């Protein structure tokens, strides 16, 4: 684990995304909220938030952080994609990139779980850091 004890705590923000691709029937059922398992978007949002809070338990060398907020949002990307964006915020000695990435990934896996009965070909196409702010390295944005 990297020693961050001598670093100053600063405000840090990170945004990450995951994109889930599925067939038309699964996409329609997800969008119309007619899945047998229930409300997939709310379930995925809660799963992403809960996972972000446990990032240090999932990633062996990650620091435990006092998270100020985690937000998980969804965007429909027709024809058959759901974009998930997660944003994590803290005031700490190290960044929250992993927490944002974990939130987006677990939310995507939850969507997969809740729609897999309708489509065996679902794919999580992309998980990526979009932006990080704060700390010694400042701001970084994916282009």
Percent helix, strand, coil in the chain, to 5, is: 30, 35, 35
Instruction: Assess whether 3 carries a catalytic annotation.
Output: no
CA distances from 30 to 27, 75, 88, 107, 131 (A): 5, 12, 25, 14, 28
What's the CA gap between 80 and 133, in Å, rounded?
31
What are the structure tokens assigned to 14, written together?
Answer: 């990170």
From edge to edge, which strands make up the β-sheet containing 81-92?
67-77, 81-92, 10-21, 123-133, 140-141
Given the residues 3, 56, 71, 113, the one annotated as active site? 113
Residues belonging to the active site: 113
């Amino acid at each position: 684990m990297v020693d961050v004890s001598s670093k100053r705590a600063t405000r840090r923000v990170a945004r990450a995304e995951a994109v889930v691709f599925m067939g038309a029937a699964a996409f329609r059922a997800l969008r119309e909220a007619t899945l047998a398992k229930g409300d997939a978007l709310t379930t995925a949002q809660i799963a992403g938030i809960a996972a972000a809070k446990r990032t240090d338990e999932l990633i062996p060398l990650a620091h435990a952080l006092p998270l100020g907020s985690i937000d998980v949002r969804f965007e429909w990307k027709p024809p058959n994609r759901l974009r998930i964006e997660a944003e994590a915020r803290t005031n700490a000695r190290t960044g929250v990139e992993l927490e944002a990435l974990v939130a987006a990934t677990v939310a995507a896996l939850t969507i997969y779980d809740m729609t897999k009965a309708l489509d065996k070909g679902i794919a999580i196409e992309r998980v990526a850091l979009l932006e990080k702010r704060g700390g010694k390295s400042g701001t970084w944005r994916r282009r």
